[in-house]
Structure 1
């Protein structure tokens, strides 16, 4: 146990390590969402189709998800400080290359490399912060780390919108370069590597584990990102990759449980708290990325807002989450059970979702979103820190990094599942509601006839001939029906997302707590 103590930092060193880790987590996460608002400009500049340019997001996510589970093992191979610094440098160089890309596929390739660098930043930053604080201050440590993770996705769109509106899209990548250089220098100067074990010889490297893992999570991520666009199993590539995912996961699990130096230590999942934390991280990712994805989409596609406007809408709620973090950290330190906080957070998330279900209309104003998003901010603040501390609370030494890798991967996959399920669901519900509304529109109904005649007269007043005006009237009616169907689909998403979180509450309350209080004496 001395090893754990020796990595605990005090004074200015701890402050610098914390700042470096949060900066890296922020860099990584802001880059996940900052591109969303710039896709149109990239498409215009680099001459790609919409589905080609969406690969800019997909490639990054695939790089992330492949590298995250391997981070703990790679840290042990190369030493944590070297590996962390190398990841920052890869991320920074890839950012420069992304900004300089000449065509869409060059950009996609550099985004994949950037994802490899970035995935490591997230998990290693979490391990660094966890180990730099003594166990009794872990709640505070996770709160500080959580600031980066929760605020990051929200900062992306407004920052991206501002840069795209005032400069040009390559600057969303160039902005990483000075920050990356500072972070790399601080890492080399202040971060220490734990001495867990001697390096393994290259003959013992688990190459098959790496191949199965990359094939499994890479294929899964592709299927989730592209499924709806390619019409799921009616597409040959999606079908092949789904089968690849299943078999690769099967062989990966078998390999890791039988090989003596596995690349991912699955045995760490014997820890009950980590298992629960991993599942909760998945649900958190689902809700966090799902709702971060759906609101800008709704405000831009249905209400016609600009990228900057819809990005700014999310900022007050992010500030509330940031203010909640230290409070939650303090509550955990005082011995409040993690499950209670998570359960309350899920109830808040349900209230936010149900509120969304109630306020959505074809012309909801920004004021209507404000309070509901504040509730979301409080809910996320209550969820993130307790879930992470619960997951890592009873792990020691090397296991902390392995546990952080699992929760990180599950949060990412949860987000991908969330976005995939929500896009598919919206598309299906849209068809359903549209057909339903059209079936109720009877042309012989006097109210419908009145509406169409009213529209026809208003178009005729603008100088259109009678038959063109009638056609235009029907077009407007059709547009109204489509818009209403769209709004109803979004309402369904909010309702079901809320119910999902509500269902989880009793399960959370049944779990055993991580002993935040008792652990401290045990460790000393």
Structure 2
């Protein structure tokens, strides 16, 4: 039997947070908006290098396989630092920590743009991820600690936009900047939001005392196990497909380290009275359901923004700018939908809204499971718009489920674990889809190859037509016959890739639709609305 949980969000208002119905001054909104800008910047930078990778690798004299570490290093460091933000906030205070980590993020972004070799780029990207990762959970924490319950739906709506817009816009913005100003500009552009963020934090958040003893007394053994476990898991997921998974000693090593690290972290986390991040929150049903679905949404967000640019670049031959124009339709409608969703979340059971969003998101992916080699901008626009309509319903409501009834002292822990899980889900999704693409392309290539036999009449007729076409262009008969066979082979390869991309979208769509089932194990919930009551 389900119960409505809205009051705890009001009763557990963090110390110093305004009571429901209190007036919110400009300073508070500036601080919250600055936090959103930081989260957007940090998520955007995960994939901003994707469109520019060819240019970056060319200037650093690196191979495609080596270049995958440019993204892996950033993601590894970001996932590791997210659970540590609660500790750093206790030690340095919100304002000081956010300003310091943003300043360091800007410094390492600049060094990325000035990198002189692949190894220097990987080191700077890792440090960029380590300093930027904290900005993601802190944006959510600012909403929960600075806004009264009735205003949190608006804050969570803004936070949801940073999580859904940034993965879609990363490759787009990276492509535009690289084409216009060269690849270093994708790192230098961070100075624009970064300086605004530091100014917003300086003006919007009060100075807090430092407690450096918290760093001395911290559970560094647990942190070490966590860092090894999460970093190794990310490397295992990101590099597994290119190294043929468990056929590689490298992958087996990192899989073992991931298992030991995460198990060690769990054992230590549950045995210490004051762990650096509170894993006991997973014992709360709503939080557990929200974090599991956060991983699923990470798979959907990063998976779809991994598949579509690859398809458009490889099959349709689109430039980064043209790919950006297609992907923009996932982002733009969300700006108009999110305020509407925030209002609805105060009136309708969030499980209904989240189910609706997962349904739209899943259906949009299934629509992309029937593409052909001629699919482009016009054919993809409807599925992109449906995806844009669905994502805000999911992100806002999952944030509400994750933070409902969380005690004030655990706000930062809850935010860290929720956001860490989404990023890990993204890594799992991309690893799953990269492997599925490889395997399904081989499968379809073999099946098509069996059908396109040189002894079949249809194949012979097509070969004869192609041979005549090459003869008409001036090729000698032997070369024309070879060119015709090559053309048939390229068509088979292209079609097998198209079918593999379709399979990838089908997998993502089905996972999103199946995720509606565990959602209903959570309690009924609405966002708190205005007045003094804190909900209904």
Per the TM superposition, whether the score is higher than 0.5 is: yes
2:381 equivalent among 370, 373, 376 = 370
Query: Matched residues in 2 for 1:429 and 1:374: separation?
Result: 28
Shift of 1:283: 0.5
Q: Comparing 279-288 with 318-327, which one deviates more in the overlay?
A: 318-327
Cα distance in 2 for partners of 1:303, 1:53 equals 24
Report the Cα offset of residue 442 of structure 1: 2.3
Tell me the TM-score normalised to structure 2 length: 0.93
Name whichever of 255-264 and 35-44 sits farther off.
255-264
Q: TM-score with structure 1 length normalisation?
A: 0.96
CA contact (8 A) 1:204 1:261 kept: no
- Once residues 467 and 131 of structure 1 are traced to their aligned partners in structure 2, the CA distance between those partners, rounded to angstroms, is 75
Structure-1 separation of matches of 2:510 and 2:92: 45
CA apart distance, 1:199: 5.5
Is the 1:394–1:514 contact (alpha carbons within 8 Å) kept by the matching residues of 2? no
The structure with more helix, counted as a fraction of residues: 1
CA contact (8 A) 1:157 1:308 kept: no
- CA separation of 1:495 and 1:179: change in aligned 2, threshold 3 A: closer
> RMSD of aligned C-alpha atoms?
2.0
* Correspondent of 1:308 among 301, 315, 321: 321
1:350 aligns with 2:362: yes
Contact 1:140/1:333 (8 A) holds in 2:
no
Unaligned ranges ≥5, structure 1: none
Asked whether the 8 Å contact 1:158–1:307 carries over to 2, the reply is yes
In the TM superposition, what is the alpha-carbon distance from 1:52 to its structure 2 partner? Answer: 1.6
- Shift in Å, 1:506: 2.6
CA distance in 1, matches of 2:215, 2:417: 24
Name the residue aligned to 1:106. 120
Instruction: State the SS of the aligned residue for 1:314.
Output: helix
Equivalent residue, structure 2, for 1:91: 105
Question: Equivalent of 1:288, from 292, 295, 301?
Answer: 301
Quick one: distance in 2 between partners of 1:193 and 1:521? 31
User: Which aligned runs of 4 or more in structure 1 are off by greater than 6 angstroms?
Assistant: none
Q: Does 1:410 align with 2:421?
A: yes
For 1:431 and 1:202, how far apart are their aligned partners in 2?
52
Residue of 393, 398, 401 corresponding to 2:409: 398
In structure 1, C-alpha distance between the alignment counterparts of 2:535 and 2:455, rounded to whole Å: 79
Structure 2 SS opposite 1:333: coil
Q: 1:412 to 1:95 in 2, by over 3 A?
A: same
Out of 483, 488, 493, which is 1:477 matched to?
488
Aligned mates of 2:452, 2:226 — CA distance in 1: 52
Give 3-state SS (helix, strand or coil) of 1:6's partner.
coil
Shift of 1:201: 5.0
Secondary structure (helix, strand or coil) at the match of 1:54 reads helix
Structure 1 position 516, deviation (Å): 3.4
The aligned counterpart of 1:256 is 269
The 5 A counterparts of 1:382-461 are 382-461=393-472
For structure 2, list consecutive stretches of 5 or more residues without a partner in the other structure.
1-10
**1:14-413 superposed matches below 5 A:** 14-192=28-206, 200=213, 202-334=215-347, 336-358=348-370, 360-413=371-424
2:149 and 2:534 in contact (8 A); partners too: no
**How far is 1:343 from its partner?**
0.6
Relative distance call for 1:442 and 1:3 in structure 2 (3 A) is closer
- Structure 1 distance, partners of 2:299, 2:93, is 33
2:156/2:399 contact within 8 Å kept: yes
8 Å Cα contact 1:65/1:119 also seen in 2:
yes
- Determine the C-alpha separation between the residues in 2 that align with 1:507 and 1:209: 30
Aligned counterparts of 1:480 and 1:321: Cα–Cα separation in 2:
37
